[in-house]
Amino acid sequence: MKIGIDISIQCMPRSGIGQYQYNLLKNLFLIDKENTYYLYAFNYRWRHKFNQLQFKADNYHLKVTPLPQRLVTLWWLFMRYPYLEMVTEPCDVYQTSEICVQPSKKGKVVAFIHDLTTILYPEYHMKQNIFFYNRRFHDIEKYADGILTNSENTKKDILKYLKIRPEKIFVTPFGANDTFRPLRNEETKKVLSRHGIHDPYILFVGTLEPRKNVKTLILAFNAVKQKLACPHKLILVGQQGWFYEEIIQARETSAFRNDIVFKGYVADEDLPAFYNGADVFVYPSFYEGFGMPVLEAMQCGTPVITSNVSSLPEVGGNACVYINPRSQNDLEQKLNQVISDKELQKKLSQKGMERAKHCSWKKCAVETLRAYKNIT
């Protein structure tokens, strides 16, 4: 079987979708030596970055077309042309980009849906994103032969809002890299020292945007600091997303602004130490398609507080403390409870590591390959 995969996103710093695709490919190449993969991409400005993308496999080919990705996407969204066979190798199945369902003349087409935030929470998105994604969703039942998604909750949303037949949807849950694991104290301290972190801290990892509910986390942190006079800092790891200004403002107006630290992007090799060093990881998101940082934290043995909505209880199971993301008071109480109780931290750590064993990138690759075969 010939399998084509659009990897245009791999020229960007790897966040959720980029991490998913990279780890999927790495594990597909580990488990599958029979099929041939044709990786294709469209980018003009950053096309040289694809030279850094290499896998330990000999059953894949890479072709980068030097055209602006947005221009190609618009052309496909409105003209449904050119066919993929005209720009890459003719394949039996194509897993197309996150932004549009690219047309194929003969091959089957698989689309991946991470979440439906542009439909469910348009207020958290820029207008251009809403336009692109909703246009894609409008066409997806007609043009996609199969849909991959990362959780049963997102599948439920797809069935409800996109009216796609259930037999076309395949759930392929994410994993976390093996680098996310419990580290020795010396390893953790070495990395944290290099980043100037010496005090106990509460951790958030994710893009700084309204959907992640970071403003509520900052307000809850302020209240906990005031009540407990605890030594903790709040470390926020992640790049600035859209509408991040209110998060910056919440920090600037905090009486504890010096204890709220924006770390920006942290390199993949350092991130496990950030999880390991935290007393608690907090992820109070309003909605997630999966919630990969929750899995990464659990795999490191870090206690987790997260929201009781969307896919997050599906990922965390009985290993997390859950909050109503719309209740600042609930988050205050749970933060207070976890950072004050070492025995609870230990219990959550053990439960989290056990729960994390249920997910892996290898399982994701196995289920994805099974979906390809079913569709063809």
Residues 6 or more apart whose CB falls under 8 angstroms from that of 265 comprise 13, 237, 238, 239
Contact 44/66 with Cβ under 8 angstroms?
A: yes
Residue 310: left if φ>0, alpha if ψ -120 to 50, beta else—which one?
Answer: left
Q: List the domain boundaries for the chain.
A: 2-175+360-375, 185-356
CA 365/CA 238 separation, integer angstroms: 27
Single out the residue of 77, 93, 95 nearest to residue 138, CA to CA: 77
Q: What is the pLDDT of residues 72-114, one digit of tens each?
A: 788 888 888 888 998 889 999 999 977 778 889 999 999 999 9
Q: Which CATH code of 3.40.800.20, 3.40.50.2000, 2.40.50.140, 2.40.128.690 fits the domain covering 185-356?
A: 3.40.50.2000
Residue 301: left if φ>0, alpha if ψ -120 to 50, beta else—which one?
Answer: left
102's enclosing H/E stretch is: none
Angle between helices 342-356 and 292-300 (to 10 degrees): 110
Q: Please work out, in degrees rounded to the nearest 5, the angle formed at the alpha carbon of residue 332 by the alpha carbons of 326 and 335.
A: 115
Contact 35/2 with Cβ under 8 angstroms?
A: yes
Q: Which CATH number does 2-175+360-375 carry?
A: 3.40.50.2000
Same fold, 2-175+360-375 and 185-356: yes
CA 6/CA 63 separation, integer angstroms: 10
Single out the residue of 129, 161, 130 nearest to residue 147, CA to CA: 161
Q: What is the pTM of this model?
A: 0.92
Contact 307/329 with Cβ under 8 angstroms?
A: no
pLDDT per residue as tens, the chain (376 positions): 999 999 988 877 677 788 899 999 999 999 999 999 999 988 877 777 777 788 989 999 999 888 777 787 888 888 888 889 988 899 999 999 777 788 899 999 999 999 999 999 999 888 888 888 888 888 788 889 999 999 999 999 999 999 899 999 999 999 999 999 999 999 999 999 999 999 999 999 999 999 999 999 999 999 999 998 899 999 999 988 888 999 999 999 999 999 999 999 999 999 999 999 999 999 999 999 999 999 999 999 999 999 999 999 999 999 999 999 999 999 999 999 999 999 999 999 999 999 999 999 999 999 999 999 999 8
Contact 282/202 with Cβ under 8 angstroms?
A: yes
CA 363/CA 175 separation, integer angstroms: 8
Q: Please work out, in degrees rounded to the nearest 5, the angle formed at the alpha carbon of residue 208 by the alpha carbons of 354 and 217.
A: 65
203's enclosing H/E stretch is: strand 201-205
Q: What is the pLDDT of residues 5-41, one digit of tens each?
A: 999 888 776 777 888 999 999 999 999 999 999 999 8
| Structure tokens belonging to residue 300 | 């490191």
| Structure tokens belonging to residue 206 | 């994710």
